[in-house]
Amino acid sequence: MDRYIGIDVHMQSCTVAVVGPSGKRVKLQVVPTLGAALVECVRAVAGQRHIHLEEGTQSAWLYELLSPHAVEVVVTVPERRTRGNKSDAEDAWGLAERLRRGALDVRVFKAPSVMTGLRAAVRAHVLLTRDLTRAKNRLQAVFRSRGLHEAGAELYAPTARTAWLARLPAALRELAVLLGEEHDALADLQTRAEKLLLQEAKRHQAVRLLATAPGIADIRAAYIVGVVGTPERFRTKRQFWSYCGLGIVTRASAQWVPRQGAMIRVTDVQTLGLNRKRQPLLKNVFKGAAHTVVVKLPQHPLSQDYQRKVAAGAKDKLALLTLARRLAAATLTMWKSKEAYDPAKHCAKKAA
């Protein structure tokens, strides 16, 4: 008999709720967030176990830990609850019930044994690059606060920074010194993270394959492979667009109206923009790749197509979005077919 298990995970405790196939609440138990205790709790549930938990810091570990003891382990994006009562028990019952009814929203892909080293390197590079950018902004803000707008990139070089520090008031000079030292330390760590990422990327043929696409190169290709894992997750390019945050959200209502004795479908559809449930890193990758093609490869057929769209009256952002979608579709096709980028083949197709 099937048993549907919802686990509300916290740092120190997990609330485990078990629901039967008819929706009857069978069991509720609170266990410490320890591997042995969770395995023992799950194994004590008789029948075919189906587990549902939400994405979080410990979700990958729990997926790897509990997968051998269940028919399936499902991880979903946490839903926002603004009404009604909320507690650990209610959350656990809700997870189990949604799994029983199949009313799951957005599933999170988990593959603990696939490209573990590359995924860790991608995470390190992303976090340290983000921290380095924040350190640069903080350092620049100190000089801007005193009207020294022309400092620019010289602040990021320790030797050139000394002259600018002398132009600050004594009260702010020590702050700028500390922020400069923070920047220098993060710059060194970010360089090491980039070396680690490129080292891990060399081990995967898919990274070398995707790096042949315009605007992608090694780092962006490593991001794509590390985040996606396998291209078979996406049957069509539209599914991949939605995952990357490049899908168009539309709304339509009252689409059928009576005319001349028949019901006619109205094609008036409202466009609301891009989908918000997405992988933000991939959205940055493909939009950044599109910008690189436009700025640094003006003679490329994709860049020329972008220029024709803008000259014809298309908005710059929409033309850039079209280019990003074309690059995303191309990388998915390249990955599935294991073929390097062919501009003659790609650019002969019309933009989606």
Compare 268 and 237 and report the one with higher pLDDT. Answer: 237
- Mean pLDDT of the residues in the chain: 93
Residue 267: the pLDDT is 77
Residue 348: the pLDDT is 59
Two tokens, residue 161: 């920074």
Whether the pLDDT of residue 28 is over 70: the answer is: yes
Other Cβ atoms less than 10 A from the Cβ of 191: the count is: 12
Q: Show Cβ contacts of residue 130 under 8 Å, excluding neighbours closer than 6 positions.
A: none
d(CA 223, CA 124): 11
Task: Kindly report the three-state secondary structure assignment for every residue of 117-164.
Answer: HHHHHHHHHHHHHHHHHHHHHHHHHHHHCCCCCCCHHHHHCHHHHHHH
Whether the pLDDT of residue 342 is over 80: the answer is: yes
Q: What percent of the chain has pLDDT over 70?
A: 98
Whether the pLDDT of residue 250 is over 80: the answer is: yes
Indicate the pLDDT class of residue 352, thresholds 50, 70 and 90: very low
Q: What is the pTM of this model?
A: 0.88
Whether the pLDDT of residue 349 is over 70: the answer is: no
The mean pLDDT value for 136-162 works out to 93
Residue 350: the pLDDT is 52
Alpha helix (H) residue ranges in 17-87:
35-43, 59-66
Residue 83: the pLDDT is 75
Range with the largest mean pLDDT of 21-25, 113-117, 148-152:
21-25
Chain segment 287-322, per-residue pLDDT in tens:
999 999 999 999 999 999 999 999 999 999 999 999
CB 221 within 8 A of CB 167: no
Pairing of strands 48-54, 72-76: parallel
CB 30 within 8 A of CB 16: yes
CB 103 within 8 A of CB 118: no
The mean pLDDT value for 41-60 works out to 95
CB 110 within 8 A of CB 63: yes
